[in-house]
């Protein structure tokens, strides 16, 4: 499979956060994830709201814009890898984020989830450097039948996977409310 060409500094998929208080979100990203703002991409609309801004988080570009009064609320769901999960969580909590999934072992990595003050849900991972357990799995997904209750993923799930699943379901029901 060929990878589509993207401009230097961009990935095939780049996240875009539409939020209230875009300057606050930009400050959150720079503090928690050490994002670097790209000043030449910063654009104000006629109403003075941020129409477009770009920040580099590691090797990824995150775009942020201010939600207009007549636009619907649209929380973002984002995944980010960090070198120090505990320090990242402490920084996020210090800026008003709420931990919804405490640090948990997840396929050899550590995962935590937070909801930031703008109701965006972040999956924050600290990678162990090892290949995930499922990469070498001999599971034949073609044999899984959703018609059989016993074929549910939860039938043999670890307590950690059940916790990760349940905290997501609980969080998603109340996101943005």
Same domain, 66 and 101: no
pLDDT of residue 152: 65
Instruction: For residue 113, tell me if it sits in a domain.
Output: yes
The pLDDT-based confidence of 34 (bands split at 50, 70, 90) is very high
Q: Domain range spanning residue 123?
A: 76-132+148-177
Rg of the chain over all Cα atoms, to the nearest angstrom: 19
- Rounded Cα distance between 70 and 129, Å, is 45
How many structural domains compose the chain?
2
Instruction: For residue 87, tell me if it sits in a domain.
Output: yes
Same domain, 18 and 52: yes
If one counts every other C-beta atom within 10 angstroms of the C-beta of residue 4, the result is 7
Q: How do residues 48-76 score in pLDDT, each as one tens digit?
A: 999 999 999 999 999 999 999 999 999 99
The pLDDT-based confidence of 133 (bands split at 50, 70, 90) is low
Helix (H) or strand (E) holding 2: none
- Rounded Cα distance between 117 and 114, Å, is 10
Same domain, 69 and 103: no
- Rounded Cα distance between 116 and 120, Å, is 5
Same domain, 29 and 101: no
Once rounded to an integer, what is the mean pLDDT over residues 108-124? Answer: 95
CB-CB contact of 67 with 73 (8 Å): yes
From 126, 92, 76, select the one nearest 106 (Cα to Cα).
126
Least confident of 61-70, 94-103, 150-159, 160-169: 150-159
Same domain, 117 and 65: no
If DSSP codes are grouped into helix, strand and coil, which group holds residue 26?
helix
Provide the phi-psi class of 21: left if phi over 0, else alpha when psi is between -120 and 50, else beta. Answer: left
Instruction: For residue 138, tell me if it sits in a domain.
Output: no
> Residue 20: pLDDT above 60?
yes
Mean per-residue pLDDT over the chain, rounded: 87
- Rounded Cα distance between 93 and 24, Å, is 14
The two tokens of residue 118 are 């703008």
pLDDT of residue 12: 85
The pLDDT-based confidence of 130 (bands split at 50, 70, 90) is confident
The two tokens of residue 10 are 């961009």
* Per-residue three-class SS string for 102-146: EEEEECCEEEEEEECCCCCEEEEEECCCCCCHHHHCCCCHHHCCC
Instruction: For residue 139, tell me if it sits in a domain.
Output: no
Same domain, 107 and 169: yes
Instruction: For residue 9, tell me if it sits in a domain.
Output: yes
Instruction: Name the percent of the chain lying above pLDDT 70.
Output: 85
User: Among 74, 98, 118, where does a domain finish?
Assistant: 74
Same domain, 167 and 92: yes
CATH number at residue 174: 3.30.720.110
From 23, 20, 7, select the one nearest 74 (Cα to Cα).
20
Same domain, 29 and 86: no
Task: Between 124 and 174, name the one with better pLDDT.
Answer: 124
Least confident of 5-14, 54-63, 130-139, 160-169: 130-139
- The pTM of this model reads 0.84
Same domain, 83 and 165: yes
CB-CB contact of 22 with 66 (8 Å): yes
- Rounded Cα distance between 64 and 118, Å, is 12
CATH number at residue 37: 3.30.720.120
């Amino acid at each position: 499979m060929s990878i589509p060409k993207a401009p230097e500094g961009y990935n095939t998929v780049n996240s875009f956060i539409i939020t209230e208080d875009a300057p606050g979100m930009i400050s959150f990203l720079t503090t928690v994830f050490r994002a670097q703002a790209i000043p030449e991409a910063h654009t104000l609309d006629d109403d003075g709201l941020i129409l477009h801004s770009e920040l580099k988080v590691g090797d990824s570009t995150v775009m942020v814009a201010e939600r207009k009064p007549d636009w619907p609320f649209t929380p973002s769901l984002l995944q980010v890898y960090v070198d120090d999960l505990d320090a990242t969580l402490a920084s996020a909590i210090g800026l008003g984020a709420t931990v919804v999934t405490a640090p948990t072992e997840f396929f050899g990595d550590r995962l935590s989830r937070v909801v930031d003050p703008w109701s965006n849900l972040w999956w924050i991972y600290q990678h162990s450097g090892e290949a995930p357990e499922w990469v070498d799995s001999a599971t034949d997904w073609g044999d899984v039948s959703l018609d059989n209750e016993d074929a549910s993923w939860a039938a043999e799930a670890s307590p950690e996977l059940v916790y990760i699943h349940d905290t997501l379901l609980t969080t998603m029901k109340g996101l943005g409310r």
